[in-house]
Structure 1
Amino acid sequence: MAQLTTAAHVHGRTHTSADEDVSKRLLESAATLSYDPSVEIDWEAPLPDHHYGLNPEWSTLYGTRLWDEMTERQRVTLTRHEVGSIMMTGIWFEMILQQMVLRDQYLKNPANAEFQFALTEIADECRHSIMFARACEKMGVPQYKPNRAWAEAGRGFKALARAELAYGGILVAEEVLDVMQRDWMRGENVLEIVRGTSRIHVVEESRHMKFARQEIRERLREAGTARRRINGFGVAAAAFVIVSSMVNKGVYAAAGLDTERALAEVKTNQHRKSMMRTSSRHLMAFLAEAGLLTRPAAGIYRQLDML
């Protein structure tokens, strides 16, 4: 209750001293634990031929008959293109994220820790995008773009999403990738360039996820049921676009596979479904706590094997 006595009504929401304290702690963390990928990663080191792009268990085809039939060279190539596609999707969404956060902070008090951490996050995301771009170039992975429909959906989302819808979309992208990268950074048979970029991303994105959760809680503090239902569905729709775009179908041709067969096996791959549910567990728990895991939203997450 004491926290609410120092609350300020800002842009139609209640911003408390407790909210500001969270941002201050995140700023302190950023000051003591941040990385410069240009010097932290050895970009000139050769890539061992036998190292994967990601842990084989995270490949979309792992656990299928097609995976069993593939040569080791094909498996290595596929995983490098898969991680490259995921990184490209990350770059795409980080560009969307930056625009949403900048718009959200427009004309806010620059003396506030919330404002300063928001700009710190944008600076982090710029470095991350360059880091992922360099990693893809090093691995020889081409640009994998989202399909036209999803690209236009992203354009609309970054222009229209506000408050908990914007930060919910941000959180979905960050949470799912975070679980994957925690495995990749420990994978002894994974390329060091992927392990290194994953370590940096995990550390710095942990702050971004805390900030997004806090922003969602703050924006929903006085929200009614109808608003939670509408934006819960919107966050789930954003998740559908993000997750559906993570691995481009072009990765299968790059590994010398029959694309149609590969896509059919991915669709029925029970191992992959289990991994997706595992990577989404904490996200689903938070969305339920926030009142954003509505029945229609849950239906979308089940289509994505996130529930």
Structure 2
Amino acid sequence: MGDNAVSAPTAATLSGRESFAQRLLTGSVKKSYDPVVDMNWDAPLDPDKLFLPPELVSLYGTPLWEAMTPARRRELSREELANVLSVGIWFENLLNRLLLRELMAGDPTSRHAHYTLTEMGDECRHMMMFGKLIERIGTRPYWPNRFERWTISALQLFLRGSMMWVGALVGEEIFDALQRRTLDDPQLQPLVARAMRIHVTEEARHIGFARAALADRVPTMSKAELQYTRLCVAVAAPLFVYLMTNWHMYARAGIEKGRAARRLARANPHSRRALGLGAANLGAFLDTQGLMGPIGKRLWRRRGLL
């Protein structure tokens, strides 16, 4: 054997990071989905069922909600789902760009790199699934305004190292926790429930990957990186939550004063409680890693996330 030949590592010789990535790769082989073939896009929509469970609709429990007819509530749930899916598409687009950048400096033979590529493939299929679902439920996507587009594009400059994984967790865990509460809701459209189950199954691996990568990095952080990461943690989740309430979705649902409805939704204790439950596990994890500083706790509480 020549001097440059390198034998492939066995499972026993893989590092902890590589061993974990290998387990995720194995799990991906056993359970992954293709929305083109694993979703019945021709199935009829139920004319009486909602597109989000009522307690996850932003106006749930408000006087405006109580005054709505069942048909108007259904329409609002349809538009809110379209907005949530649109935010998901923006986020997964950004995440794939960040992951691709990481691969430029990584070892292309590593299990870590191979799982990164696998996750990117998952995210591409999720974006397709979300786009097809928006079309199938009979509405249109929501585009970020000019300021939001600038902010999303600028995030690529700031989400580096530890912050890339914080950003991944903010986008994945809050959405994932809310989805898990809807999977078996009898009021939910079956097609929507199926899409959420697929997303939850694959996102569980993505969340584990991001948590492990962040936990590995924390002990090596400099004091400056730690302070920077805490600052970014403080604003990341509130920004994500801000994007979840788009005034245009209220207007499309037939509510005349869309901006007033958005203000009502953001102050709605039911909506804040739902988001708080969605962010609970993420907040606890970031706190145990020492990444939730006093400013972060204050801002998260102000948005109802703690």
TM-score where L is the length of structure 1: 0.92
Q: Paired residue for 1:274?
A: 273
Structure 2 CA distance, aligned partners of 1:107 and 1:275? 39
Structure 2 SS opposite 1:136: helix
Q: Deviations over 1:158-195 (max 9, x none)?
A: 23421110110110010000011112221111111210
Which has the higher mean CA deviation after the structures are superposed, 232-241 or 157-166? 232-241
Structure 2 counterparts to residues 17-36 of structure 1, below 5 A: 17-36=15-34
Structure 1 CA distance, aligned partners of 2:118 and 2:54? 34
Q: Paired residue for 1:58?
A: 56
Residues 1:202 and 2:195 are matched in the alignment:
no
Deviation at 1:287, TM superposition (A): 0.5
Q: Paired residue for 1:10?
A: none
Q: Paired residue for 2:285?
A: 286
Q: Paired residue for 2:100?
A: 102
Contact kept, 8 Å, 2:247 with 2:262, in 1: the verdict is yes
Deviation at 1:29, TM superposition (A): 0.5
Residues 1:144 and 2:136 are matched in the alignment:
no
TM-score where L is the length of structure 2: 0.92
Structure 2 CA distance, aligned partners of 1:83 and 1:269? 18
Q: Deviations over 1:30-80 (max 9, x none)?
A: 010111111111101111111111100000000100000011111000011
Contact kept, 8 Å, 2:178 with 2:274, in 1: the verdict is no
Q: Deviations over 1:238-296 (max 9, x none)?
A: 22322211232111112211313312321321111111111111000110011110111
Q: Paired residue for 2:113?
A: 115
Structure 1 SS opposite 2:292: coil
Structure 2 SS opposite 1:250: helix
Q: Paired residue for 1:253?
A: 251
List, as ranges, runs of 4+ consecutive aligned residues in structure 1 with deviation greater than 6 Å: none
Residues 1:305 and 2:291 are matched in the alignment:
no
- Unpaired runs of 5+ in structure 2? 1-13
Cα pair distance change 1:147/1:241, threshold 3 Å = farther
Q: Paired residue for 1:4?
A: none
Residues paired across the two proteins, number: 292
Structure 2 CA distance, aligned partners of 1:222 and 1:183? 36
Which has the higher mean CA deviation after the structures are superposed, 111-120 or 175-184? 175-184
Residues 1:87 and 2:88 are matched in the alignment:
no
Q: Percent identity?
A: 34
Structure 1 CA distance, aligned partners of 2:249 and 2:203? 26
Structure 2 SS opposite 1:87: helix
Contact kept, 8 Å, 2:246 with 2:262, in 1: the verdict is no
Q: Paired residue for 1:187?
A: 185
Q: Paired residue for 2:6?
A: none
Amino acid at match of 1:142: R
Contact kept, 8 Å, 1:100 with 1:159, in 2: the verdict is no
Structure 1 CA distance, aligned partners of 2:97 and 2:263? 36
Structure 2 CA distance, aligned partners of 1:271 and 1:221? 38
Structure 2 SS opposite 1:79: helix
Structure 1 CA distance, aligned partners of 2:35 and 2:259? 37
Amino acid at match of 2:266: K
Structure 1 CA distance, aligned partners of 2:105 and 2:169? 24
Contact kept, 8 Å, 2:245 with 2:265, in 1: the verdict is no
Structure 1 CA distance, aligned partners of 2:235 and 2:151? 10
